[in-house]
Structure 1
Amino acid sequence: MPPSVVVPADLDGQRALGPEWAAWLDRLPAITRSVLDDWELTPEGTSWHGFCSLVLPVTTGDGTLAALKVGLPDDESEHEHLALQRWGGRGAVRLLRADPGRRALLLERLDREDLTESWDLEACAVVASRYADLHVAAMPQLRAQASYVETWLAALARDAQEVPIPRRLVEQALALGRDLVTEPATAVIHGDLHYGNVLRGRRDGEDTWLVIDPKPTNGDPHYELEPMLRDRFAEYAAPGAAGSVRDGVRRRFHALVDAAGFDEDRARDWVVIRSVLNAHWAHEDAVRAHRRLDADEREHVTACITVAKAVQD
């Protein structure tokens, strides 16, 4: 019988996001125990977690060091295993085994070190270099990112009068989004590629950086940039930072666009759309909980608006 599984307090705090989260968190220890048993995995060391997943370092029956990830059964995670299989370890963590029904993935063990301590432009170059590995031809099994964006834009239009975002930006995001979602999806995209989703691993005997935790869909590769501009936002205004917050956002933006060989205008449009949508989600969370935006949410909305403005100034 595998040892008991304890859900970390920070992950368990996601119960506040609604009854679906609470129900999943109630089931999570039993699901994880069943996978450990069925796959004959031995947990070792301290667990960690993402926003919607529990990760346990484990050893397989043949002594392989691995990591067991058990995630929330939502649309975003449904096809994670398919993208990891398609990438085959090229630029991304290797998938060793999957049980999509239980949202369980057995992954190669990577170091816990991510890009959050790297100089931001150096980290941008690393992430941009991974785009070429990940943006393979669109897969028929994956959903179109445009289908999600259309739903999100409709919700934004519904709340346009109440959402705490300048009306000019709301109208701009709606107009840009309506144009871009009509275009064909050309590639598999990660969807949430930022500093924390790139870990140190090894390929061919050498250290390298490998991507984790995709939310894969078929879409436009230019969709990828926005998380890199919003993450580590406080560093733009930290003591010793060069220039203004606007300058810092633009430096990262151009570093990503140039290193990836992206079209600047198209990348900028997607940054505006995603920034406004992210700010709107904070508003939706507060409305759903029948409260005002809390301090963290207000800070998040401010960051989103700042990024959307900076890439256009």
Structure 2
Amino acid sequence: MIELPAAVHAMADRGPRWQSWVDELPKLLTRQLGEWNLVADGAPMWGHASVVQPVRNADGASAVLKVGFPDEESQHEHLALRRWGGDGAVRLLTADPHRHALLLERLHTRDLGDLWDIEACEVVAGLYDHLHVPALPQVRRLTDVVARATAELETLPRAAPVPRRLVEQALTLGRDLMTDPGTTGTLIHTDLHYANVLAADREPWLVIDPKPLNGDPHYELAPLLWNRWDELAGDIRGGVRRRFYALIEAAGFDEHRARSWVVVRMVHNAMWALTGAAPVDHDWLTTCIAVAKAVQD
């Protein structure tokens, strides 16, 4: 049996479904190793919602076995990785979608956190061209996600601790973007931040861990603005704006469209922080509002 790290056991505290998943993980990992003729090759690693076990196959080649929590966001990860075929992203070797199990090429553990944030943003912008390919029919649509979030946002109490002008702005922009043909035509990663780009041997940097949607490439920017937040202390507005303009310039994005998506996405995040089952994370709420303001003030 695989011995799970303490951080993975701690995921069980998130609720009954997580508890059940964590309880089954050792058996699931062991079964997958056997079926794919793999042997463990080091201690397990983990992300927010997955376990990654370094392995070797029968020929001695290195890889990693990733088993993820069965959520809606990651259910089509294997489809996106297969579509990219290793171009700009980690290479998918095989998959068992029903078990949320993926066998992936092994990359290094070094991520873009080692680079100056503006340099890291430019690296990510350079990967967009590889990842932003025509939409896949099986993948969820960004318009559906935005429609659901917009309906929830319409019910947010006026007394909620989010500036009302931002709420109204996100509602208007969200409705406009939902009807725009450019909102569903492209396969996008949606969770492309510094820790989801790893150093590799065959390329300097490769993307991991997509939460794919058929959407608009401009939707991708926001995670690079809110991550590595502590580094912006003392000049949050200036730091966010430097990242924003570095991204749109390097990627050749439309500034107005990129700004619109950042505002919509950050207000949606603020709303979910207030309406979710978990206690309100006031630091995260403040971050959401600060990013939405910074890109447009």
Answer yes or no: same fold by TM over 0.5.
Answer: yes
The answer for the alignment partner of 1:120 in structure 2 is 117
The answer for the alignment partner of 1:220 in structure 2 is 216
State the alpha-carbon separation in 1 of the partners of residues 8 and 274 from structure 2.
21
Residue 253 of structure 2 is aligned to residue 253 of structure 1: no
Tell me the C-alpha RMSD between the 2 structures.
1.4
* Counterpart among 165, 169, 185 of residue 168 in structure 1: 165
The answer for the alignment partner of 2:190 in structure 1 is 191
Unaligned runs of 5+ residues in structure 1 are 239-243
What is the SS of the residue equivalent to 1:66? Answer: strand
CA gap 1:259/1:29 in 2 versus in 1, 3 angstroms? same
State the alpha-carbon separation in 2 of the partners of residues 165 and 300 from structure 1.
12
Q: 1:48 Cα shift?
A: 1.0
CA gap 1:150/1:57 in 2 versus in 1, 3 angstroms? same
What is the SS of the residue equivalent to 1:202? Answer: coil
What is the SS of the residue equivalent to 1:133? Answer: helix
Indicate the larger mover: 93-102 or 21-30.
Answer: 21-30
State the alpha-carbon separation in 1 of the partners of residues 266 and 25 from structure 2.
32
Contact 1:160–1:167 (8 Å) recurs in 2? no
Unaligned runs of 5+ residues in structure 2 are none
Q: 1:106 Cα shift?
A: 0.3
Contact 1:57–1:109 (8 Å) recurs in 2? yes
The structure 1 segments of at least 4 consecutive aligned residues displaced by more than 6 Å after TM superposition are none
Alignment of 1:97-176 (within 5 A): 97-161=94-158, 163-176=160-173
State the alpha-carbon separation in 1 of the partners of residues 24 and 273 from structure 2.
27
Q: 1:306 Cα shift?
A: 0.6
The answer for the alignment partner of 2:41 in structure 1 is 44
Residue 296 of structure 2 is aligned to residue 312 of structure 1: yes
Q: 1:149 Cα shift?
A: 1.7
The answer for the alignment partner of 1:241 in structure 2 is none
CA gap 1:284/1:13 in 2 versus in 1, 3 angstroms? farther
Contact 1:91–1:209 (8 Å) recurs in 2? yes
Letter aligned with residue 260 of structure 1:
A
State the alpha-carbon separation in 1 of the partners of residues 196 and 160 from structure 2.
29
CA gap 1:153/1:9 in 2 versus in 1, 3 angstroms? farther
What is the SS of the residue equivalent to 1:33? Answer: helix
Residue 271 of structure 2 is aligned to residue 272 of structure 1: no
Q: State the TM-score, normalizing by the size of structure 1.
A: 0.91
State the alpha-carbon separation in 2 of the partners of residues 306 and 261 from structure 1.
24
Letter aligned with residue 141 of structure 1:
Q
Residue 282 of structure 2 is aligned to residue 298 of structure 1: yes
1:183-239 deviations in whole A, cap 9, x for unaligned?
231110001000000000122xxx51000000111000000000000000110116x
* Counterpart among 233, 241, 259 of residue 229 in structure 2: 233
Q: 1:118 Cα shift?
A: 0.7
State the alpha-carbon separation in 2 of the partners of residues 230 and 44 from structure 1.
34
State the alpha-carbon separation in 2 of the partners of residues 87 and 279 from structure 1.
32
Q: 1:6 Cα shift?
A: 2.8
State the alpha-carbon separation in 1 of the partners of residues 17 and 169 from structure 2.
33
Contact 1:160–1:170 (8 Å) recurs in 2? no
State the alpha-carbon separation in 1 of the partners of residues 46 and 153 from structure 2.
30
Q: 1:167 Cα shift?
A: 1.5
CA gap 1:161/1:144 in 2 versus in 1, 3 angstroms? same
State the alpha-carbon separation in 2 of the partners of residues 153 and 19 from structure 1.
28
Contact 1:146–1:181 (8 Å) recurs in 2? yes
State the alpha-carbon separation in 1 of the partners of residues 17 and 158 from structure 2.
29
Contact 1:199–1:211 (8 Å) recurs in 2? yes
Q: 1:73 Cα shift?
A: 1.1
Q: 1:162 Cα shift?
A: 5.2
Alignment of 1:76-115 (within 5 A): 76-115=73-112
State the alpha-carbon separation in 2 of the partners of residues 53 and 283 from structure 1.
25
Q: 1:8 Cα shift?
A: 2.5
State the alpha-carbon separation in 1 of the partners of residues 5 and 266 from structure 2.
30
Q: 1:164 Cα shift?
A: 2.4
Q: 1:11 Cα shift?
A: 2.9
CA gap 1:160/1:225 in 2 versus in 1, 3 angstroms? farther
What is the SS of the residue equivalent to 2:200? Answer: strand
Q: 1:284 Cα shift?
A: 2.5
State the alpha-carbon separation in 1 of the partners of residues 180 and 296 from structure 2.
23
State the alpha-carbon separation in 2 of the partners of residues 211 and 272 from structure 1.
25
What is the SS of the residue equivalent to 1:83? Answer: helix
